[in-house]
A and B are shown apart, each in its own frame.
Chain A
Amino acid sequence: MIRLALLLLVLAVPAAAQEQIVAGLSQNRVSITADFEGSEILIYGAVKRDTPPPAGQGPLEVIVTVQGPSSPVTVRRKDRVAGIWLNNAQVRVDSAPSFYAVATTGPLTHILSDTENLRHGITIERVIRAVGITDEADQAGDFLVGLQRVRTQEGRYRVLQGKVELTEETLFRTDIELPANLTEGEYKVRLFLLRDKRVIAHQERVIGVRKEGLERWIFNLAQEEPLLYGLLSLVLAAVSGWGASAAFRLVRA
């Protein structure tokens, strides 16, 4: 009954959103086990319309973003001081995602306006939050560019322009590769539909990335019982040292 009412409500306001996203993910959880080598997720969907595509408007475009958990980071710059290269300046960035991928149907500058980018925070520059860094160092902007470059090289930040396949302005799909160096947490998947550089519909999904099994056990023990964990590591080291010594003596005898 409630569902029916909701459905009627959705149908009753077609003018507000003529085109909507119906999206799916190939998986909504990723388990990090000892042999984790990275994972590929398929993000697919369709555009739901009650009326034919509006005439006289630009073509439909799709942007998909995947964002890993964010944390504060320190970006340091090396300078030459007395002939030695050393960390001379640093900037503290309030929040930078550990992973960020943007996949689109076309070049970002052609399909997305600056105001819409600012409003929805779509490109990586708009996702990194760095308030008041200009007080911390000269040319603070260079530090943000440096941060993006370093993380791009590590495969953590990716721009995949033209990697979303859109068929008949209705069906779309893209594959996003999650690297092996994955951080645990909630990965936010956002889907945007655009026409004439403006976002006309968007949707959000979440993928949970969690350590499992042995990884989980070790991580929890290290966090919750650090002294026990440290002593256990020592016992492990001492026993294997002794074990190898004993084994070699047996081999020789």
Chain B
Amino acid sequence: MQLYLPIAEVSVNAFLILGLGGIVGFLSGMFGVGGGFLITPLLFFIGVPPAVAVATGANQVVASSVSGVLAQLRRKGVDFTMGWVLLVGGIVGSGIGVWVFRLMTRAGQVDLFVQLSYVIFLGLIGAMMFQESLRSLLRARKPGAPIRRAHVHSWVHGLPFKMKFRASGLYISVIPPLLIGAAVGFLAAIMGVGGGFIMVPAMIYLLGMPTKVVIGTSLFQIIFVTAFTTVMHAVTSQTVDMLLALVLILGGVVGAQIGARVGVKLKAEQLRILLSLLVLAVSIRIAVDLLVKPSELYSVAGALP
């Protein structure tokens, strides 16, 4: 069934979009990532103009995150205190990110800048997570191996402004979460994603939060970041396609619910290894685009603003 999208001005197969939304929703429910880093390149691929893909992708992420958070909430998987602290940092970082984005647009290399940040950050985080989770998976198989303590005291614990994060069972300074929130907000604004794929490993490895609350808390923060992005795009460039978003969302919300159930059944190490492979795959795909000679050197875009 063909569907004509009023803002994107292209005709697409409705079932393809439904399936796309479903797959991304499934992954988002399972891993606690918003799925923006997947949905945006996939929409480019089926011919949706980049500006519309970025803005509409953000809108879709809002829906799958709401659905995911509600599923996590019932399992007490959301640390609201931590979520709010991350969000405060995130808004500051996002503001700086939007400013840098504008500077790069003026310099005329925003496409390359975005692609390079995808390759570098996805590649780095994917590789780190993969290595770490593989190691812990192997350790779990080997009986009698020394077990590493969950909370290792480091310089992070010596910082002032300590706060109790009851759901996470942490008593740490607010400075690290604020900085992480800001870094994620910055990257999110530049890459047009919610930032879950950065947030999840940062919470696990840098803050030492238990995996149980990581996904819900990450999704909670993503809702606000992507909601902000959606409204900004709608107001500044009118590139949010409501019809496209609606079909993506229909697939996405169902996928997110199934993903959350499947995620519970998998072990934390398995979950992390799968997420790291996914992140690496996207990073390699974009790197290949940059390195291999494209079949068509010319591209046509609407007039520059």
Residue-by-residue, is A202-245 near B (CB-CB < 8 Å gives 1, otherwise 0)?
00000000010011101100110011011111101110111111
Does A34 lie at the interface of the complex (its beta carbon under 8 Å from any beta carbon of B)?
yes
- Is there contact, CB below 8 Å, between B297 and A77? yes
Does B16 lie at the interface of the complex (its beta carbon under 8 Å from any beta carbon of A)?
no
Instruction: Return chain A residues, CB-CB under 8 Å to B253.
Output: 240-241, 243-245
Does B154 lie at the interface of the complex (its beta carbon under 8 Å from any beta carbon of A)?
no
Instruction: Return chain A residues, CB-CB under 8 Å to B242.
Output: 218, 222, 229, 232-233, 236
Interface of B (DSSP majority class): helix
Does B136 lie at the interface of the complex (its beta carbon under 8 Å from any beta carbon of A)?
no
CB < 8 Å neighbour of A222 from B63, B240, B297, B304:
B240
The stretch of A48-56, A82-90, A112-120 in contact with B is A82-90
Known pairs A35-B2, A219-B7, A249-B74 / 9 extra A-B pairs, C-beta < 8 Å: A71-B303, A84-B290, A85-B290, A85-B294, A153-B296, A226-B235, A230-B230, A238-B62, A244-B253
A31 CB to nearest B CB, Å: 11
- Is there contact, CB below 8 Å, between B3 and A237? no
In the complex where A36-B2, A150-B300, A214-B243 touch, is A245 in contact with B9 (Cβ < 8 A)? Answer: no
Instruction: Return chain A residues, CB-CB under 8 Å to B59.
Output: 233-234, 237
For the complex of A and B, 5 pairs with smallest distance between CB atoms: A146-B298, A230-B234, A241-B66, A244-B253, A180-B11
- Is there contact, CB below 8 Å, between A87 and B111? yes
Instruction: Return chain B residues, CB-CB under 8 Å to A153.
Output: 296
Instruction: Return chain B residues, CB-CB under 8 Å to A222.
Output: 6-7, 234, 238, 240, 242
Instruction: Return chain B residues, CB-CB under 8 Å to A86.
Output: 109, 111-112, 290
Instruction: Return chain B residues, CB-CB under 8 Å to A35.
Output: 1-4
The stretch of B160-168, B200-208, B244-252 in contact with A is B244-252
- Is there contact, CB below 8 Å, between A78 and B297? yes
Residue of A nearest to B9 (CB): A183
Q: How far is the CA of A80 from the CA of B293 in the complex (A)?
A: 8
Residue of B nearest to A245 (CB): B70
- Is there contact, CB below 8 Å, between A233 and B2? no
Residue of B nearest to A98 (CB): B9
Instruction: Return chain B residues, CB-CB under 8 Å to A32.
Output: 4
- Is there contact, CB below 8 Å, between B109 and A215? no
- Is there contact, CB below 8 Å, between A180 and B62? no
Does B283 lie at the interface of the complex (its beta carbon under 8 Å from any beta carbon of A)?
no
Residue of A nearest to B231 (CB): A230
**Count of chain A residues with a beta carbon within 8 Å of a chain B beta carbon:** 65
Instruction: Return chain A residues, CB-CB under 8 Å to B66.
Output: 237-238, 241-242, 245
- Is there contact, CB below 8 Å, between A215 and B6? yes
Q: Can you name 18 A-B residue pairings with CB atoms under 8 Å?
A: A77-B298, A146-B298, A147-B300, A149-B296, A149-B298, A153-B296, A180-B4, A181-B10, A182-B9, A211-B6, A222-B238, A226-B238, A233-B59, A240-B253, A241-B70, A242-B67, A245-B66, A245-B71
- Is there contact, CB below 8 Å, between A181 and B9? yes
B293 CB to nearest A CB, Å: 6
Residue-by-residue, is B47-72 near A (CB-CB < 8 Å gives 1, otherwise 0)?
10000000000011011111110110
In the complex where A85-B291, A245-B67 touch, is A227 in contact with B298 (Cβ < 8 A)? Answer: no
CB < 8 Å neighbour of A230 from B65, B112, B235, B289:
B235
In the complex where A74-B300, A150-B299, A233-B240 touch, is A180 in contact with B7 (Cβ < 8 A)? Answer: no
Does B147 lie at the interface of the complex (its beta carbon under 8 Å from any beta carbon of A)?
no
**A74-104 interface (Cβ within 8 A of B):** 74-80, 83-87, 90, 92
Residue of B nearest to A227 (CB): B235
A156 CB to nearest B CB, Å: 10
Q: How far is the CA of A219 from the CA of B296 in the complex (A)?
A: 32
Q: How far is the CA of A242 from the CA of B68 in the complex (A)?
A: 9
Residue-by-residue, is A36-53 near B (CB-CB < 8 Å gives 1, otherwise 0)?
111000000000000000
